[in-house]
Every structure is written in structure tokens, then in C-alpha cells.
């Protein structure tokens, strides 16, 4: 297996040029250049490495899908992780070939991919890969409510007795759309809602919820809608740049217990949206972000609560970020991507 990006690129180019069935028209050295080349050349097939410099392959695929929607994307990667495969396919990939097996599977993958079918390396089959849901599919984020508006494509759903989900969004508008949909459904079901977010997100949510026909001011006065600043909340449980488990479980547990008492009698369950872990990740505290998600799992297993964490995909920029992304996905009962 070739690990060095430049050496691997040269290896693939040599294989393509050695096959008369292919007309090789271009090469990119990083993710940003891949997007620009795709928009310029509109190729039939794009071979994309997940671990690209400057802009990782997953985010590059999302952008390519917008500028060259007819191009078919085939991912090449050394990553065996199921979450990574799901993320790559949901981002627009039609195939996922392991670099270690490219010698025997690269050309075998081309025909189904060019026909619009999915292909994954044989080593990955049977690993419980969830079927990728396209952008038109509906997948509700809450357990009980059937939500009419289209939902984020589901990357991973795990059969566990908890509701601790994550949404990864390409921009603020989609981020807010997902949270608004989640909160609106919860309030209509009689749940109390806790929002822990940035000031701009909290303000925008109020406007969107009111536009959605909710009497959000009444919910606030009744204590059924509680909005807190993420930075202030983080400061209450962090010690030496890491979340203190005792403080975290008390701060969040007390919030949920208080909110459940204010929920309507018909529904004592609480819904919570948060971006504490995402903010820590953006600040370069990846270990702290992962630990927050681990502790949130304890909350999800202990209380009657539905949790939705909100991430922006712009954070995925390097191999270290991809590792953190994978670890964060593993801590959630379901992962959605916009």
C-alpha cells in the first residue's frame, strides 16, 4: 500500500494511462484544486483520495457535486472505518476502494460507478454499512414525530437505547434548518427544549421558530424553551482545557431535570440541541470535544432526553480533523449530513 499522497497519485495515474479504455484529462494536487479542475473539465469519472491536502476529499466531493453534478466520484482510501465510508458515499461518492486492494479492484469498480451503482471494496462488505440515503429521502431526527420537511441524509444509525444524534452541515443556513425542524417538532409534541448555542444561532432560531408558527415567547415564559450561551456553559464544566466529568454531569443533568418538570403533562421527555463539543473542536481542543460527546452519551442513557449536536463541516481540513470526525461519529446513535 502506498501511504505518501504524491506517490499514491503517481501510482494511480500510471495505472490509468496504461489502460486504453481511459482518456486521462487532468490531475489535482489537493482538494481545492480538485474542485476547480472538476468545474473546468467536467470529467465523466473522478478518482478522489479521502486524505487530500488543504481540503479533504469528503468536503471536496460535496463541492464537486455542485459544480460538476454529472461527474461520478470514486473514492480511494486506506481508511477501513465504516463511518468514514458512509461519510464518503453520502458526500457524493459512488464507490469506495481501499488503496491496499486498488490493484485488483480499481478497474472493477469503474463499470458499476459509471452506471450509477454503488461499489465498495470486498473487505468492507458485511461490516454493517447502512444504506446511504440520498438527498431526497426523509429521515426524522426525533423518535416519535413524523416530520414532513426533507431530512438530512442518514450516514449511520446504530441500534442502541439512546437518542444522541449529530448533524454535520455545510453552512449556517442548513445548520439552522436542522435545529429548527428538531425543536419545532419537540415543542409541538409538548416537550421542553434546551438550546445551548452561540448568540447568532440562538437569535436566528427564535426568528425561524416564530416563522414556523410557534408561540415561542409563550414557551419561553412557561420555561419550556431554555436558551443558553455555549461559551458560558462550557466554562462551567471545563478544568485545565478538559471537561470535568462531575461538573459536566451535574450542569447538564440539572438542566434536563429542571426542564422535564416544566414540560407539558402529556410529554415529560426533553429535547436538547447543543454545540459545546463543536465549539471546542473549532478552538483546537479535539480531545475535549470527544470527551464531551462521551459524557453526553452518559446523559443520553440516564435521562429521558433526545439530543442533537450541531457541527459545521468546514472543520474537516486535515487528517487529524478526519480522525476527530470519525471518533465523534462513533459517539452518536445516528449521524446526519447536510
Question: Which pLDDT does position 123 carry in this prediction?
Answer: 80
Q: Tell me the mean pLDDT in the region 286-311.
A: 93
Cα–Cα distance, 317 to 314 (Å, whole number): 7
Three-state DSSP at 309 gives strand
Cα–Cα distance, 31 to 144 (Å, whole number): 40
Question: Which pLDDT does position 220 carry in this prediction?
Answer: 93
Give the full edge-to-edge strand order of the sheet including 154-157.
154-157, 334-337, 164-169, 305-312, 270-274, 192-197, 225-229
Three-state DSSP at 327 gives helix
CATH number of the domain at 154-337, please?
3.40.50.300
Please write the tens of the pLDDT for every residue from 223-235: 899 999 999 999 9
Cβ atoms of 249 and 299 closer than 8 Å: yes
DSSP result, 91-143 = TTEEEEEEGGGHHHHHHHHHHHHHTT--EE-GGGTTS-PPPPP-TT----SSS
Using CB atoms within 10 A of its CB, is residue 181 exposed (0-12), middle (13-18) or buried (19+)?
A: buried
The topology under which CATH files domain 5-124 is: Rossmann fold (3.40.50)
Cα–Cα distance, 167 to 229 (Å, whole number): 19
Question: Which pLDDT does position 155 carry in this prediction?
Answer: 46
Using CB atoms within 10 A of its CB, is residue 12 exposed (0-12), middle (13-18) or buried (19+)?
A: middle
Please write the tens of the pLDDT for every residue from 46-67: 999 887 777 888 888 989 999 9
Q: Is the pLDDT of residue 137 over 70?
A: no
Cα–Cα distance, 146 to 68 (Å, whole number): 34
- Percent of the chain clearing pLDDT 90 (strictly above): 38
Please write the tens of the pLDDT for every residue from 241-289: 999 999 999 999 999 988 888 776 445 689 999 999 999 999 999 999 9
| Confidence band for 168, pLDDT divided at 50, 70 and 90 | confident
Domain boundary assignment for the chain: 5-124, 154-337
pTM value is: 0.57
Cα–Cα distance, 178 to 273 (Å, whole number): 10
Please write the tens of the pLDDT for every residue from 309-331: 999 876 555 556 778 888 898 88
Q: Is the pLDDT of residue 132 over 70?
A: no
Cβ atoms of 299 and 305 closer than 8 Å: yes
Fold match flag (5-124 vs 154-337): yes
Amino acid at each position: 500500500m502506498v501511504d505518501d499522497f504524491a506517490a499514491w497519485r503517481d501510482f494511480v495515474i500510471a495505472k490509468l494511462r496504461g489502460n486504453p479504455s481511459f482518456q486521462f484529462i487532468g490531475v489535482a494536487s489537493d482538494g481545492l484544486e480538485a474542485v476547480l479542475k472538476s468545474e473546468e473539465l467536467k470529467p465523466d469519472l473522478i478518482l478522489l483520495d479521502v486524505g487530500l491536502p488543504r481540503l479533504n476529499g469528503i468536503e471536496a466531493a460535496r463541492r464537486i457535486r455542485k459544480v460538476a453534478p454529472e461527474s461520478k466520484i470514486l473514492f480511494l482510501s486506506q481508511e477501513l472505518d465504516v463511518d468514514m465510508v458512509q461519510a464518503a458515499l453520502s458526500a457524493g461518492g459512488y464507490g469506495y476502494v481501499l488503496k491496499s486492494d486498488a490493484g485488483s479492484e480499481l478497474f472493477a469498480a469503474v463499470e458499476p460507478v459509471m452506471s450509477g451503482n454503488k461499489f465498495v471494496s470486498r473487505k468492507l462488505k458485511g461490516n454493517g454499512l447502512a444504506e446511504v440515503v440520498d438527498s431526497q429521502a426523509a429521515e426524522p431526527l426525533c423518535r416519535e414525530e413524523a416530520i414532513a420537511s426533507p431530512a438530512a441524509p442518514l450516514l449511520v444509525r446504530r441500534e442502541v437505547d439512546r437518542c444522541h444524534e449529530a448533524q454535520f452541515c455545510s453552512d449556517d443556513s442548513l445548520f439552522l434548518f436542522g435545529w429548527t425542524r428538531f425543536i419545532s417538532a419537540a415543542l409541538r409534541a409538548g416537550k421542553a427544549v434546551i438550546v445551548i448555542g452561540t448568540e447568532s444561532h440562538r437569535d436566528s432560531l427564535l426568528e425561524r421558530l416564530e416563522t414556523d408558527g410557534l408561540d415561542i415567547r409563550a414557551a419561553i415564559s412557561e420555561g419550556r424553551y431554555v436558551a443558553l450561551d455555549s461559551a458560558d456553559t462550557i466554562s462551567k464544566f471545563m478544568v485545565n482545557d478538559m471537561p470535568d466529568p462531575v461538573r459536566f454531569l451535574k450542569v447538564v443533568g440539572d438542566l434536563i431535570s429542571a426542564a422535564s418538570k416544566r414540560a407539558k403533562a402529556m410529554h415529560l421527555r426533553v429535547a436538547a440541541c447543543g454545540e459545546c463539543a463543536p465549539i471546542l473542536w473549532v478552538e483546537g481542543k479535539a480531545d475535549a470535544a470527544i470527551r464531551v460527546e462521551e459524557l453526553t452519551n452518559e446523559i443520553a442513557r440516564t435521562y429521558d432526553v433526545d439530543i442533537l449536536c450541531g457541527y459545521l463541516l468546514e472543520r474537516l481540513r486535515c487528517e487529524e480533523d478526519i480522525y476527530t470526525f470519525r471518533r465523534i461519529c462513533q459517539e452518536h446513535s445516528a449521524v446526519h449530513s447536510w
